[in-house]
Amino acid sequence: MAQVIYLNGKYVTKEEAVVSVYDHGFLYGDGIFEGIRVYGGNIFKCREHLDRLYDSAKSIMLDIPLTQEEMEQALIETIRLNALPDGYIRLIVSRGTGNLGLDPRRCPVASVIIIVEQLAIYPVEAYLNGLKTVSVSTARNIPNALNPKIKSLNYLNNILVKIQANLADVGEAIMLNAQGYVAEGSSDNIFIVKKGTIYTPPCYIGALEGITRAAIMELAEQYGYKLKEEPFTLHDVYVADEVFFTGTAAEVIAVREVDGRVIGSGQAGPVTTHLMEEFRKIVFVDGVQVF
Protein backbone atom coordinates (compact mmCIF):
# COMPACT_ATOMS: atom_id res chain seq x y z
CA MET A 1 0.00 0.00 0.00
CA ALA A 2 1.29 3.44 -0.92
CA GLN A 3 2.38 5.67 1.93
CA VAL A 4 0.12 8.63 2.73
CA ILE A 5 1.50 11.81 4.27
CA TYR A 6 -0.46 14.62 5.92
CA LEU A 7 0.64 17.96 4.51
CA ASN A 8 -1.16 21.15 5.52
CA GLY A 9 -4.62 19.62 5.72
CA LYS A 10 -4.27 17.29 2.74
CA TYR A 11 -3.40 13.60 2.52
CA VAL A 12 -0.83 13.23 -0.26
CA THR A 13 1.64 10.69 -1.65
CA LYS A 14 5.30 10.67 -0.67
CA GLU A 15 6.17 12.24 -4.05
CA GLU A 16 3.62 15.03 -3.55
CA ALA A 17 4.77 15.72 0.02
CA VAL A 18 7.10 18.64 -0.67
CA VAL A 19 7.56 21.98 1.07
CA SER A 20 8.96 25.24 -0.23
CA VAL A 21 12.70 25.97 -0.16
CA TYR A 22 11.58 29.22 1.51
CA ASP A 23 10.09 27.32 4.45
CA HIS A 24 11.90 28.54 7.56
CA GLY A 25 12.02 25.01 8.87
CA PHE A 26 14.39 24.30 5.99
CA LEU A 27 16.20 27.65 5.96
CA TYR A 28 16.70 28.03 9.72
CA GLY A 29 15.52 24.93 11.56
CA ASP A 30 12.68 27.19 12.73
CA GLY A 31 10.01 24.84 13.96
CA ILE A 32 9.25 22.00 16.32
CA PHE A 33 8.53 18.30 16.09
CA GLU A 34 7.46 15.18 17.90
CA GLY A 35 8.40 11.53 17.47
CA ILE A 36 5.52 9.31 18.56
CA ARG A 37 4.98 5.55 18.41
CA VAL A 38 1.92 3.47 17.60
CA TYR A 39 1.78 0.04 19.23
CA GLY A 40 -0.98 -2.35 18.17
CA GLY A 41 -3.12 0.57 17.02
CA ASN A 42 -2.52 2.58 20.21
CA ILE A 43 -0.87 6.00 19.90
CA PHE A 44 1.32 5.72 22.98
CA LYS A 45 1.04 8.78 25.28
CA CYS A 46 -0.63 10.76 22.48
CA ARG A 47 -1.86 13.57 24.75
CA GLU A 48 1.54 13.93 26.42
CA HIS A 49 3.25 14.29 23.03
CA LEU A 50 0.70 16.86 21.88
CA ASP A 51 1.00 18.77 25.16
CA ARG A 52 4.78 18.94 24.67
CA LEU A 53 4.35 20.02 21.03
CA TYR A 54 1.98 22.84 21.96
CA ASP A 55 4.26 23.91 24.84
CA SER A 56 7.24 24.03 22.44
CA ALA A 57 5.09 26.07 20.03
CA LYS A 58 4.11 28.53 22.75
CA SER A 59 7.72 28.92 23.85
CA ILE A 60 8.89 29.85 20.33
CA MET A 61 5.71 31.87 19.59
CA LEU A 62 4.60 29.63 16.76
CA ASP A 63 0.86 29.49 16.01
CA ILE A 64 -0.19 25.95 15.13
CA PRO A 65 -3.14 26.27 12.74
CA LEU A 66 -4.93 23.30 14.33
CA THR A 67 -6.35 22.82 17.80
CA GLN A 68 -4.89 19.99 19.84
CA GLU A 69 -8.08 17.96 19.18
CA GLU A 70 -7.80 18.56 15.43
CA MET A 71 -4.16 17.53 15.55
CA GLU A 72 -5.08 14.31 17.35
CA GLN A 73 -7.68 13.59 14.65
CA ALA A 74 -5.10 14.25 11.92
CA LEU A 75 -2.73 11.77 13.61
CA ILE A 76 -5.47 9.16 13.85
CA GLU A 77 -6.51 9.65 10.23
CA THR A 78 -2.92 9.44 8.93
CA ILE A 79 -2.37 6.17 10.78
CA ARG A 80 -5.68 4.79 9.49
CA LEU A 81 -4.91 5.74 5.90
CA ASN A 82 -1.52 4.06 6.17
CA ALA A 83 -3.08 1.00 7.86
CA LEU A 84 -0.05 0.90 10.13
CA PRO A 85 -0.96 -0.34 13.62
CA ASP A 86 2.72 -0.54 14.62
CA GLY A 87 4.88 2.33 13.55
CA TYR A 88 6.56 5.63 14.22
CA ILE A 89 4.93 9.02 13.66
CA ARG A 90 6.94 12.12 12.87
CA LEU A 91 4.88 15.25 13.48
CA ILE A 92 6.53 18.44 12.24
CA VAL A 93 5.35 22.02 12.56
CA SER A 94 7.63 24.53 10.90
CA ARG A 95 7.33 28.32 10.84
CA GLY A 96 6.16 28.01 7.21
CA THR A 97 7.05 29.73 3.98
CA GLY A 98 8.62 33.18 4.26
CA ASN A 99 11.45 35.03 2.58
CA LEU A 100 15.22 34.69 2.97
CA GLY A 101 15.30 36.90 6.06
CA LEU A 102 14.97 35.14 9.37
CA ASP A 103 12.07 37.28 10.63
CA PRO A 104 9.24 34.86 11.53
CA ARG A 105 6.67 37.62 10.85
CA ARG A 106 7.29 36.93 7.14
CA CYS A 107 5.86 33.43 7.57
CA PRO A 108 2.07 33.83 7.78
CA VAL A 109 1.12 30.16 8.15
CA ALA A 110 2.95 27.28 9.83
CA SER A 111 3.51 24.09 7.83
CA VAL A 112 2.14 20.92 9.43
CA ILE A 113 3.41 17.53 8.32
CA ILE A 114 2.65 14.04 9.62
CA ILE A 115 4.67 11.08 8.41
CA VAL A 116 3.98 7.52 9.55
CA GLU A 117 6.61 4.86 8.98
CA GLN A 118 8.01 1.62 10.24
CA LEU A 119 11.08 2.04 12.42
CA ALA A 120 13.77 -0.06 14.05
CA ILE A 121 16.80 1.99 15.05
CA TYR A 122 18.99 -0.55 16.83
CA PRO A 123 19.54 -4.20 15.90
CA VAL A 124 17.87 -6.80 18.15
CA GLU A 125 21.35 -7.73 19.38
CA ALA A 126 21.71 -4.28 21.03
CA TYR A 127 18.51 -4.86 23.04
CA LEU A 128 19.75 -8.25 24.22
CA ASN A 129 23.32 -7.26 25.08
CA GLY A 130 23.23 -3.50 25.58
CA LEU A 131 24.86 -0.64 23.70
CA LYS A 132 28.41 0.58 23.85
CA THR A 133 28.50 4.33 24.34
CA VAL A 134 30.93 7.22 24.82
CA SER A 135 30.79 10.69 26.30
CA VAL A 136 31.39 13.50 23.83
CA SER A 137 32.93 16.97 23.86
CA THR A 138 29.81 18.61 22.39
CA ALA A 139 27.96 20.09 25.37
CA ARG A 140 24.19 20.24 25.76
CA ASN A 141 22.75 23.62 24.80
CA ILE A 142 22.46 25.91 27.80
CA PRO A 143 18.87 26.79 28.80
CA ASN A 144 19.31 30.50 28.05
CA ALA A 145 20.24 29.67 24.44
CA LEU A 146 18.08 27.09 22.65
CA ASN A 147 16.44 25.54 25.71
CA PRO A 148 16.74 21.72 25.60
CA LYS A 149 13.12 21.49 26.79
CA ILE A 150 11.98 22.83 23.40
CA LYS A 151 11.77 19.98 20.92
CA SER A 152 12.92 22.23 18.12
CA LEU A 153 13.69 21.36 14.52
CA ASN A 154 17.19 22.70 15.09
CA TYR A 155 19.00 19.47 15.97
CA LEU A 156 22.44 20.48 14.78
CA ASN A 157 23.89 20.23 18.30
CA ASN A 158 22.52 16.70 18.56
CA ILE A 159 23.80 15.89 15.07
CA LEU A 160 27.30 16.94 16.16
CA VAL A 161 26.92 14.46 19.02
CA LYS A 162 25.78 11.78 16.59
CA ILE A 163 28.85 12.46 14.42
CA GLN A 164 31.06 11.93 17.46
CA ALA A 165 29.18 8.71 18.22
CA ASN A 166 29.68 7.57 14.63
CA LEU A 167 33.40 8.31 14.81
CA ALA A 168 33.60 6.20 17.96
CA ASP A 169 31.53 3.51 16.21
CA VAL A 170 28.79 3.51 18.88
CA GLY A 171 25.03 3.90 18.56
CA GLU A 172 24.43 6.66 21.09
CA ALA A 173 26.60 9.10 23.04
CA ILE A 174 26.35 10.97 26.33
CA MET A 175 26.26 14.77 26.42
CA LEU A 176 27.28 16.74 29.48
CA ASN A 177 25.98 20.19 30.28
CA ALA A 178 28.25 23.24 30.39
CA GLN A 179 29.00 22.53 34.09
CA GLY A 180 30.09 18.96 33.40
CA TYR A 181 26.98 17.16 34.68
CA VAL A 182 25.49 14.34 32.63
CA ALA A 183 22.57 15.66 30.56
CA GLU A 184 21.29 13.11 28.03
CA GLY A 185 22.03 11.30 24.78
CA SER A 186 21.72 12.73 21.27
CA SER A 187 18.09 11.58 21.19
CA ASP A 188 17.53 9.73 24.46
CA ASN A 189 17.31 10.40 28.18
CA ILE A 190 19.69 8.61 30.51
CA PHE A 191 19.23 6.65 33.73
CA ILE A 192 21.71 4.94 36.03
CA VAL A 193 21.13 2.39 38.79
CA LYS A 194 23.38 2.18 41.85
CA LYS A 195 22.78 -0.06 44.87
CA GLY A 196 19.11 -0.46 43.97
CA THR A 197 18.39 3.27 43.51
CA ILE A 198 17.51 4.65 40.08
CA TYR A 199 18.86 8.09 39.15
CA THR A 200 18.08 10.36 36.24
CA PRO A 201 19.21 13.97 35.76
CA PRO A 202 16.57 16.63 36.41
CA CYS A 203 15.61 18.29 33.11
CA TYR A 204 16.95 21.69 34.23
CA ILE A 205 20.41 20.13 33.83
CA GLY A 206 19.76 20.25 30.08
CA ALA A 207 17.51 17.43 29.01
CA LEU A 208 14.31 17.04 27.09
CA GLU A 209 11.31 16.19 29.27
CA GLY A 210 11.20 12.77 27.65
CA ILE A 211 7.88 11.00 27.53
CA THR A 212 9.53 7.59 27.77
CA ARG A 213 11.54 8.98 30.69
CA ALA A 214 8.32 9.98 32.48
CA ALA A 215 6.74 6.58 31.76
CA ILE A 216 9.78 4.78 33.18
CA MET A 217 9.80 6.99 36.28
CA GLU A 218 6.13 6.18 36.81
CA LEU A 219 6.79 2.45 36.44
CA ALA A 220 9.79 2.66 38.77
CA GLU A 221 7.61 4.24 41.47
CA GLN A 222 4.80 1.80 40.85
CA TYR A 223 7.16 -1.14 41.39
CA GLY A 224 8.65 0.33 44.55
CA TYR A 225 12.11 1.29 43.31
CA LYS A 226 13.86 4.20 44.99
CA LEU A 227 14.03 6.92 42.37
CA LYS A 228 16.06 10.13 42.51
CA GLU A 229 16.01 12.96 40.02
CA GLU A 230 19.38 14.53 40.79
CA PRO A 231 22.49 15.72 38.96
CA PHE A 232 25.35 13.24 38.52
CA THR A 233 28.68 13.09 36.76
CA LEU A 234 30.43 10.72 34.37
CA HIS A 235 32.17 9.11 37.35
CA ASP A 236 28.75 8.05 38.66
CA VAL A 237 27.94 6.59 35.25
CA TYR A 238 31.22 4.63 35.11
CA VAL A 239 30.67 3.06 38.53
CA ALA A 240 26.91 2.46 38.13
CA ASP A 241 25.53 -1.08 38.37
CA GLU A 242 23.29 -0.40 35.37
CA VAL A 243 22.91 2.33 32.77
CA PHE A 244 20.11 2.67 30.26
CA PHE A 245 18.69 5.11 27.72
CA THR A 246 15.02 5.88 27.08
CA GLY A 247 13.39 7.43 24.05
CA THR A 248 10.42 6.98 21.76
CA ALA A 249 12.52 5.54 18.94
CA ALA A 250 15.01 3.58 21.10
CA GLU A 251 12.40 2.65 23.76
CA VAL A 252 14.41 1.31 26.74
CA ILE A 253 17.91 0.13 25.93
CA ALA A 254 20.68 -0.99 28.25
CA VAL A 255 24.23 0.33 28.08
CA ARG A 256 27.02 -2.18 28.57
CA GLU A 257 30.06 0.04 28.19
CA VAL A 258 30.79 3.76 28.66
CA ASP A 259 34.14 5.24 27.54
CA GLY A 260 35.72 1.78 27.77
CA ARG A 261 34.38 1.08 31.29
CA VAL A 262 32.24 -2.05 31.45
CA ILE A 263 28.96 -1.34 33.26
CA GLY A 264 27.94 -3.92 35.86
CA SER A 265 28.08 -7.40 34.38
CA GLY A 266 28.39 -6.03 30.84
CA GLN A 267 24.78 -6.92 29.98
CA ALA A 268 21.31 -5.52 30.64
CA GLY A 269 20.94 -5.60 34.45
CA PRO A 270 17.88 -6.79 36.42
CA VAL A 271 16.31 -3.35 37.01
CA THR A 272 16.69 -2.35 33.36
CA THR A 273 15.28 -5.69 32.21
CA HIS A 274 12.33 -5.44 34.59
CA LEU A 275 11.47 -1.88 33.52
CA MET A 276 11.91 -2.83 29.86
CA GLU A 277 9.41 -5.69 30.31
CA GLU A 278 6.87 -3.53 32.14
CA PHE A 279 7.27 -0.78 29.53
CA ARG A 280 6.48 -3.31 26.76
CA LYS A 281 3.14 -3.97 28.50
CA ILE A 282 1.92 -0.39 28.90
CA VAL A 283 2.68 0.70 25.34
CA PHE A 284 -0.38 -1.14 24.03
CA VAL A 285 -2.85 0.49 26.42
CA ASP A 286 -1.60 3.87 27.63
CA GLY A 287 -2.66 6.27 24.90
CA VAL A 288 -5.28 6.79 22.21
CA GLN A 289 -6.63 3.72 20.41
CA VAL A 290 -6.87 4.09 16.60
CA PHE A 291 -7.94 0.61 15.45
Residues that bind ligand PMP in the complex, under the rule CB under 6 A: 35, 158, 184, 187-189, 208, 210-213, 246-248
CB of 183 to ligand PMP, least distance (A): 9
Q: Which is catalytic among the residues 151, 195, 226, 228?
A: 151
**Rounded Cα–Cα distance for residues 53 and 155 (Å):** 16
**Rounded Cα–Cα distance for residues 219 and 85 (Å):** 24
Nearer to ligand PMP, 48 or 236 (CB): 48
CB of 207 to ligand PMP, least distance (A): 6
Nearer to ligand PMP, 107 or 161 (CB): 161
Nearer to ligand PMP, 132 or 213 (CB): 213
**Rounded Cα–Cα distance for residues 102 and 242 (Å):** 45
Query: 26 — phi, psi (to 5°)?
Result: -75, -45
The H or E element that residue 285 is part of is none
Nearer to ligand PMP, 94 or 158 (CB): 158
What DSSP string describes 223-246?
Answer: TT-EEEE----HHHHHT-SEEEEE
Nearer to ligand PMP, 16 or 277 (CB): 277
Q: Is 151 a catalytic residue?
A: yes
Angle subtended at Cα 36 by Cα 209 and Cα 95, rounded to the nearest 5 degrees: 80
Q: Which amino acid is at 129?
A: N
Nearer to ligand PMP, 30 or 188 (CB): 188
CB of 242 to ligand PMP, least distance (A): 18
CB of 187 to ligand PMP, least distance (A): 4
Among candidate residues 150, 156, 160, 148, the one with its CA nearest the CA of residue 190: 148
210 neighbors 247 (Cβ within 8 angstroms): yes
* Helix segments in the chain, DSSP class H: 24-28, 46-59, 68-82, 124-129, 156-167, 211-222, 234-238, 270-282
CB of 172 to ligand PMP, least distance (A): 10
**Rounded Cα–Cα distance for residues 3 and 78 (Å):** 10
Could you tell me which residues come within 8 angstroms of residue 5 by beta carbon, excluding any fewer than 6 positions away?
A: 11, 12, 13, 14, 16, 17, 78, 113, 114, 115, 116
CB of 74 to ligand PMP, least distance (A): 20
Q: Catalytic amino acids?
A: 151
